[in-house]
Chains A and B, each alone.
Chain A
Amino acid sequence: MTEQEIIQLTNQVFEESFEIEKELLKPETNIFEDLGLDSLDVVDLVVALQEKFGVKIRNDERIKNIRSLGDIYNFIFKLKEEH
């Protein structure tokens, strides 16, 4: 899976699961401050990413360090590499 595909699918997760407008989805966007996600939403995000990418994220400590969309792209890219 290419970097571009990861970005596209991740953005789809935000559009489909959180109804975020496409224009806001940039690597530097902070998912909490700019998109309004809270800790309750993170578990939904984990589920949606798992289903979209077919990876297992359960209890992955790296999730805790995610702040921006770019962090998510990098995280998924590394997960894909590991699998």
Chain B
Amino acid sequence: MPESCSQIFGSEFFHDKYHDKYMNQHRSDSLYALEIYTGYPVDFGFSTAFINPENLHENKLSDEEICDIIKQAKALGVQKIVFSGSEVAYFADMQKILLFAKSLDIDTTILNKEYSCDAYSEENNPVFCMRHGFSCVITSYGYVLPCPGLQIPLGNIRFQKISDIIKDSEIYSDLRNYKNKIKGPCGICEKAEICYGCRGRSYLITGDYLASDPICERNEKHKKDIISLPLPLDGIIPQIPPMKLIDTIEILGERSAGCSVLIREGMPFAEKDGSIDNVAYLEMMAQAIAALNGFRNMETSDTAPEGYLLGAKKLIIKSKARIGDRLSVFVFKYAKFGGFGIVKGIVKRDNEVLALGEIKIWHNIDQEPKVGDQ
């Protein structure tokens, strides 16, 4: 059997033994294992646009903060912690940390060697790694990741509890609801009960953490069925031309997405002088969030999710877009209550911010399957 990165936790967590127990559970913040990763910092990509600079931590966790993580982990049910990465020795008092974990009856392992999820590895067998069902990674800067390969920060433990980060995470929810969410051939593979491919390499190659694993030998003949970003949005968002403004979804993050739009002649909101009415920015943000929701639910719904733009505030218009411009629209789900949400949005032309603000939306959450709805 090929080695997977979930095996760092040991055979007691390996697929069929933990699968029934840990996956499909209704308590979405439970954890049974944790990796504390001391390697290179995470690249936040476009998500930085929505992070308060004060919340971007460049300092590594102290020994005391690591002990606090261990306490939180214990409360969530963690039985094993793996310390990984080349800088694992940086903790001033690793012995104290290990003893603290032991005092809470948590097993620990230190992996001194770097290991990584290599997207272009020759290893192409099914990976049988479903570690998101029972574990997460915390970097030495405090950022929580689903796994080492899926380097999308879900939050930082310096500002939220681990349980809150996991409960809030749409990515985590999607991964735990894998039977409904994995797109393409992995979802109908005969091994789909116990394997959803390597999420890290799927994300690295396709840009979609829910895409089928393009490297797996079982998908060799189905590569044409594996979708990659950027992806045209026809049928994914409810808008149809001419009201459909955005063209493609380009990039995914935690509760966030980046989309692309080419301003064309004859497009709604186009003025006679070739500029675009400012209202178009709000519509672009609304369509971008529809794209994120539609893309996440592609496998579970034949129709684009229903939603409405209800209003906007804190809108700042810095410059006009013009016909021929290629714009990037970044959106982040800032707050949510039932089907209502506040979305922060930024519209850019290359690196120039044209507009930013918040929109209030409603979308039909009845179309979203919950964890455990299999």
Contacts and interface: CB of A to CB of B under 8 A. Distances in A.
Contacts of A47: 334-335, 342
A40 B340 contact: yes
B360 A59 contact: no
Contacts of B103: none
B161 interface: yes
Contacts of A57: 335
Interface of A, helix, strand, loop or mixed by DSSP: helix
Contact of A56 (B160, B342, B360): B160
B195 to A, nearest CB: 30
B358 to A, nearest CB: 9
A50 interface: yes
Interface in A44-63: 44, 46-47, 50, 56-59, 63
Contacts of B168: 56, 58-59
A2 interface: no
A39 interface: yes
B360 A58 contact: no
B120 interface: no
Given A40-B310, A40-B360, A43-B360, A58 B335 contact: yes
A66 to B, nearest CB: 11
A43 B161 contact: no
Given A58-B335, A63-B337, A44 B360 contact: yes
Given A39-B340, A40-B310, A40-B340, A46 B161 contact: no
Contacts of A46: 335-337
A78 interface: no
B164 interface: yes
Interface string A63-83: 110000000000000000001
A46 B334 CA distance: 11
Interface residues of B, number: 16
A19 to B, nearest CB: 14
The winner among A50, A58, A83 for most chain B CB atoms within 10 A is A58
Interface in B296-343: 310-311, 334-338, 340-342
B72 to A, nearest CB: 12
The winner among A43, A46, A47, A57 for most chain B CB atoms within 10 A is A43
The range of chain A's interface size is 10 to 19
Interface in B145-170: 160-161, 164, 167-168
B160 A43 contact: no
Contacts of A39: 338, 340
A39 B338 CA distance: 10
A43 B338 CA distance: 9
A59 B340 contact: no
A42 interface: yes
Nearest to B335: A47
B341 A43 contact: yes
Nearest to B358: A47
A43 B340 contact: yes
A40 B313 CA distance: 14
A27 to B, nearest CB: 22
Contacts of B161: 83
The winner among B168, B335, B336, B338 for most chain A CB atoms within 10 A is B335
A52 to B, nearest CB: 13
Interface in B330-366: 334-338, 340-342, 360
Contacts of A56: 160, 164, 168
A17 B16 CA distance: 52
B50 to A, nearest CB: 14
A48 to B, nearest CB: 10
5 contacts: A43-B360, A46-B336, A47-B335, A58-B168, A63-B337
Given A43-B337, A47-B334, 9 more contacts: A40-B310, A40-B360, A42-B337, A46-B335, A56-B164, A58-B336, A59-B167, A59-B336, A64-B338
